[in-house]
Structure 1
Amino acid sequence: MIKRRSFIHQASMLAAAASAFGFTFEQSQSHHFSTQPKNKNRMLQHNVFFYLKEGVNAGQKLAFEKGMKHFLSSVSEIDHWEIGIAAGTAPREVVDHSFDYNLTVRFTSIANHNIYQEHPAHAVFINDFAELWQQVKVYDVEIL
């Protein structure tokens, strides 16, 4: 009985601590638990995959990265952004390692995403670097 009380006490303390840091626990239909911010407004996640042309050199890639960082830092409507490259995970039939860069941008609203799309810095970035890519794929996701 003492072990059970200890477990219940520890679980209560964990829930209280999570709540104090602004998280609530929600159980999904698949019975997995996740933490969700208290702000229930759904965010938009804009995922961009860049497939560069053959022959793009290290200097051009560095300029591309710097240009992307400068552009993203210029748009105040962006809530959060990250730049990545294909991970060195094991090849599997469902994994696409063929892209060169990934850009993940989060917005608090579709309206902010629309401002980003029309932002002059976005147009400058495309104009300056479009010659480096052969393909771009975009996946826009509403975070649940």
Structure 2
Amino acid sequence: MKNTTNHERRNFLVKTGAVASTVAVAPAALATAGSAVLPVIRHSVFFWLKNPGNQADRDALIAGLKTLGAIETVKGIQIGVPASTEKRDVVDNSFDVSEMLLFDSVEGQNSYQSHPVHLAFVKNCEHLWRKVVVYDSIAV
């Protein structure tokens, strides 16, 4: 009985994970009538702390990043730290903190860059990081 329950749980997690990952990356062009239209601009930022492993610095950076969600052109925000996934040559988990912001348009992302909340975040938190890498992409 226990094997059946674990098997059913595993199947459920696999199926829901596949659906969730499909929804999370589906471009707005695939949205159908009555369904949500997802933002098309993804702003992914990776931070390396000046003091790697310093929990107080990491917490301060995460707290600062959370303020960015208040900017009206930000349609979605996710903040993360390296996952304990399989070690592979193609996986770079050397960063300390990451954020992904979603925008409806390039104009919205451009507006975010000069927004007072974003400028305050940079001013208040830039002393925490030694390196930042940004990847901006648009859904196709």
Residues 35-65 of structure 1 show CA distances to partners (whole Å, capped at 9, x for unaligned) of 9323778711000010111356222221221
Task: Determine if the alignment matches structure 1 residue 37 to structure 2 residue 31.
Answer: yes
Letter in 2 for 1:92: R
CA RMSD of aligned residues (A): 2.4
Aligned partner of 1:89 in structure 2 is 85
Residues 81, 97 of structure 2: 8 Å contact kept: yes
Residues 107, 113 of structure 1: 8 Å contact kept: yes
Taking only the aligned residue pairs, the percentage that are identical comes to: 33
Higher-Rg structure is: 1
Structure 2 CA distance for partners of 1:42 and 1:66, relative to 1, 3 Å: closer
Task: Determine if the alignment matches structure 1 residue 61 to structure 2 residue 58.
Answer: yes
Cα distance in 2 for partners of 1:110, 1:96 equals 27
Structure 2 CA distance for partners of 1:41 and 1:129, relative to 1, 3 Å: closer
State TM-score, norm by structure 1: 0.69
Letter in 2 for 1:64: L
Instruction: Judging by fraction of residues, say which structure has more helix.
Output: 2
Instruction: Judging by fraction of residues, say which structure has more strand.
Output: 1
1:49-128 map, 5 Å: 49-54=46-51, 57-70=54-67, 72-128=68-124
- Secondary structure of the corresponding residue to residue 90 of structure 1: coil
Cα distance in 2 for partners of 1:88, 1:56 equals 15
Residues 41, 104 of structure 2: 8 Å contact kept: yes
**How far apart are residue 115 of structure 1 and its match?**
0.5
Unmatched tracts of structure 2, length 5 or more: 1-22
**How far apart are residue 113 of structure 1 and its match?**
0.3
Residues 42, 108 of structure 1: 8 Å contact kept: yes
- Secondary structure of the corresponding residue to residue 30 of structure 2: strand
Aligned partner of 1:136 in structure 2 is 132
Residues 49, 130 of structure 2: 8 Å contact kept: yes
Residues 109-133 of structure 1 show CA distances to partners (whole Å, capped at 9, x for unaligned) of 0000000001011111111111111
State TM-score, norm by structure 2: 0.71
**How far apart are residue 75 of structure 1 and its match?**
0.3
Unmatched tracts of structure 1, length 5 or more: 1-22, 27-34
Aligned partner of 2:9 in structure 1 is none
Residues 56, 132 of structure 1: 8 Å contact kept: no
